[in-house]
Structure 1
Amino acid sequence: MRHLILSMTLAGLLTGCAVSSPPPRPAMDLATDWTLATATADPSLLLQDDWWLAFDSEPLQQLIEQALQQNLDLRMAQERILQAEAQLGITRASSLPGLNANASAGVRNTSGNNGQNTSSESSSIGLSTSYEVDLWGRIAAERAAGKASLEATVYDWHSTRLSLSASVASSWFQWLLLDSRQETARWYLQAAEKQLAFIEAAYQQGTATPADLARQRSQVISQQSNLKNLQHQQLQTSNALALLLGEAPQQFQPPTADLQQLNPPRIHPGLPSDLLTRRPDLARAEAQLQAAEANITAARAAVFPSLQLSASAALASSTLSLADPVQTLNLTSGITQSIFDHGVRKRQIQISESRQQELLQSYHKAVLTALIEVEDALSNERLNHELQQQQQRLVKETRLITSHTERRYQAGADSLNLLLEAQRSLFQAEDQLLQLQQERLNASLNLYRVLGGGWQQENVWTNTNEKD
Structure 2
Amino acid sequence: MTFMTSLRIPLALMVATALAGCGSLMETSYDRPALQLPSGWQQGSPADKALPKTVDAASVRADAWWTVFQEPELDRLIDRAFARNNDLAAAAIAVRRAQLQAGLAEDDTLPRLGSSTQVSRDRELADDTSATSYSTSLTVSWELDLWGRLGRTLDAARFEAAATEQDRQATALSLAATTAELYWTHVYLTQRLALADASLNYARRIADIVDVRWRAGAVSDLDRLQARQNVESQEAARLLILQSQVENDNALSILFDAPPQPVDLARDRLPDGMLPAIPAGLPAGVLARRPDIRAAELRLRANLADIDATRASYLPTFSLTGSLGGSSVALRDLLANPVATLGLGLTLPFLNWTERDLTIRTSEADYEAAVVNFRQTLYQAFADTENALSARQRRAERDLRLQAALDAARAAEQIYETRYRAGAVDLQSWLDSQETRRTAELNLLENRLEEIRAMITLYQALGGSATPAAS
Contact 2:416 2:429 in 1 (8 A): yes
The question of whether the paired residues in 2 share the 8 Å contact of 1:199 and 1:208 is answered with: no
Q: Does 1:33 align with 2:33?
A: no
The residue matched to 1:108 in structure 2 has which SS? Answer: strand
Q: Is 1:167 matched up with 2:178?
A: yes
Contact 2:112 2:141 in 1 (8 A): yes
* Residue 274 (structure 1) aligned with residue 286 (structure 2): yes
The Cα of 1:454 is off from its aligned counterpart by: 3.2
Q: Deviations over 1:334-371 (max 9, x none)?
A: 11112644733322211111100011111111111111
Q: Normalized against structure 1, the TM-score is what? A: 0.84
Partner of 1:240: 251
Match of 1:365 in 2: 376
Query: What pairs with 1:46-445 in structure 2 (closer than 5 Å)?
Result: 48-111=62-125, 115-197=126-208, 205=217, 207-208=219-220, 216-250=227-261, 252-261=263-272, 263-268=274-279, 270-275=282-287, 277-322=288-333, 325-338=336-349, 340-341=351-352, 343-403=354-414, 421-445=432-456
Quote how far apart the aligned CAs of 1:413 are.
Answer: 7.2
- Which segment is superposed worse, 253-262 or 90-99? 253-262
Contact 2:26 2:147 in 1 (8 A): no
Please list every run of 5 or more consecutive structure 1 residues that lacks an aligned counterpart in the other structure. Answer: 457-468
Amino acid of the structure 2 residue aligned with 1:54: V
Distance (whole Å) between structure 2 residues aligned to residue 33 and residue 323 of structure 1? 78
Decide whether aligned partners of structure 1 residues 107 and 195 sit closer, same or farther in structure 2, where only a CA change above 3 A counts. same
Matched residue SS, 2:147:
coil
Moved more, 177-186 or 342-351: 342-351
Taking the aligned partners of 2:305 and 2:334, their CA distance within structure 1 comes to: 53
Aligned partners of 1:172 and 1:414: how far apart in 2? 44
**The residue matched to 2:28 in structure 1 has which SS?**
coil
Provide the rounded CA distance (Å) in 2 between the counterparts of 1:36 and 1:251. 39
Residue in 2 that maps onto 1:466: none
Contact kept? 1:185, 1:227, Cα under 8 Å: yes
Distance 1:133 1:255 in 2: 66
What amino acid maps onto 2:300 in structure 1?
A: L
Contact 2:162 2:295 in 1 (8 A): yes
- CA deviation map 1:156-188 (0-9, x unaligned): 111011101000011111111111111222233
Q: Secondary structure at the match of 2:276?
A: coil
143 and 46 in structure 1: CA distance in 2 versus 1, 3 angstrom threshold? closer
Separation (CA, whole Å) in 1 of partners of 2:184 and 2:389: 20
| Equivalences, count | 442
User: Structure 1 residue 92: deviation in Å?
Assistant: 0.6
Q: Distance in 1 between matches of 2:219 and 2:262?
A: 53
Q: CA deviation at 1:282?
A: 0.4
d(CA) in 2 for partners of 1:31, 1:196: 61
- How far off is 1:20 after superposition? 8.4
Which consecutive residues of structure 2, in runs of 5 or more, have no partner in the other structure?
1-7
- Give the 3-state SS of the residue equivalent to 2:333 in structure 1: coil
Conserved 8 A contact 1:108-1:119: yes
- On the 8 A contact 2:278/2:466 being kept in 1, the answer is no
Report the RMSD for the aligned CA atoms in angstroms. 3.3
Conserved? CA contact 2:66–2:75, under 8 Å: yes
Q: 1:264 to 1:324 in 2, by over 3 A?
A: closer
CA contact (8 A) 1:105 1:320 kept: no
Q: Which moved more, 1:420-429 or 1:405-414?
A: 405-414
Cα deviation 1:28-67 (Å, max 9, x = unaligned): 1212111124446298996551111111222211211211
- Against the structure 1 CA distance between its residues 390 and 367, is the aligned structure 2 distance closer, same or farther, given a 3 Å change threshold? same
SS at match of 1:260: coil
Q: Secondary structure at the match of 1:100?
A: strand
* AA of the residue aligned to 1:52: W
* Alpha-carbon offset, residue 439 of structure 1: 0.5
1:262 & 1:81 partners in 2: Cα distance? Answer: 42
| Aligned partner letter, 2:101 | Q
Q: Once the two structures are superposed, what CA deviation does each residue of 1:70-117 show, in whole Å capped at 9, x if it has no partner? A: 212112111211111111111111110122222222212242xxx433
Q: Deviations over 1:412-439 (max 9, x none)?
A: 8777766555444333322221111101
Q: Do the aligned residues in 2 keep the contact of 1:278 with 1:454 (CA within 8 Å)?
A: no
Contact 2:113–2:139 (CA under 8 A) maintained in structure 1: yes
- 3-state SS in 2 of match to 1:247: coil
Deviations 1:391-421 (A, max 9, x none): 1222233334445556667788777766555
Measured in 2, the distance between the counterparts of 1:407 and 1:199 equals 14
Tell me if the contact between 2:23 and 2:148 (Cα under 8 Å) persists in the aligned partners. Answer: no
